[in-house]
Amino acid sequence: MSAEDDRLRDEAAAWVLGALDNTEAAEFVRRMEASPEVRREVAELQEAADALPFSVVPVGPPPELRDRIMSVVEAEAELLHATGARADRPYRPPTPWWRTMLRPLPVAAFACVLLLAGVAAGLLISGGGSESSRTVAAQVTGDGTANASAQVEIDADSAQLVVDGMQPPGAGHVYQVWYVHDGQTDPVPAGALFDVDSSGQGAAALPGGVDDVKSVLVSVEPAGGSQKPTTQPVIAANLS
């Protein structure tokens, strides 16, 4: 193995774990395609990385979470009641026409939304949530995907793709994630490969964040990944 292969092997772990930015990941994939040894190394590391999400023991929300949330809700309701009926209607500067249909939530509805958001955050991660968190459902196509589902889970500083009911990509192949950036039409490697377990479940961290990504695609590619898609996408999520 050449010195270049040795250096690529050192970078393989960072690439599998999504520690490279978009430019570094694309360059790594381009150089990796010329080295069968490095592709095998990446495939072996990817199997271990794909198993990590399933090794975490789920943690339930702390029993005092609901009490904390309700204390905040009740305090806000008392404050709004004391300051007047229109206290929950703040001044709004002139806005674009497409926002003129928005209206502030009534106090009761606001309290319900706050309670549901807090409970959901507690159920998922047993801690605080983030206002910028969202989940985007993806379209799944192809043979044997009638019961399959996929979604992109986005937080303030991270994102991941989670799939369920997917068919294995086949011997010598993996699922590869692609980004289509804002203002672009061609997909580029996201720097993420993954496989699924016997029940069709799998997950892949999305490196570099998705702030400037309008679409996330997934295709079946040879082990080690490709520089450009060689098959039609089987998963597509529109983030814009």
The residue type found at 149 is: S
Encode pLDDT of 175-193 as tens digits: 999 999 999 999 999 999 9
pTM score of the predicted model: 0.49
CA distance 181 to 206: 13
Local confidence band at 143 (pLDDT 50, 70, 90 cut-offs) = confident
Is the pLDDT reported for residue 130 higher than 70?
A: no
At residue 181, the pLDDT reads 94
What does the mean pLDDT of the chain come to?
76
**Distance of alpha carbon 105 from alpha carbon 53, whole angstroms:** 37
123 versus 38: the higher-pLDDT residue is 38
Higher pLDDT, 66 or 162: 162
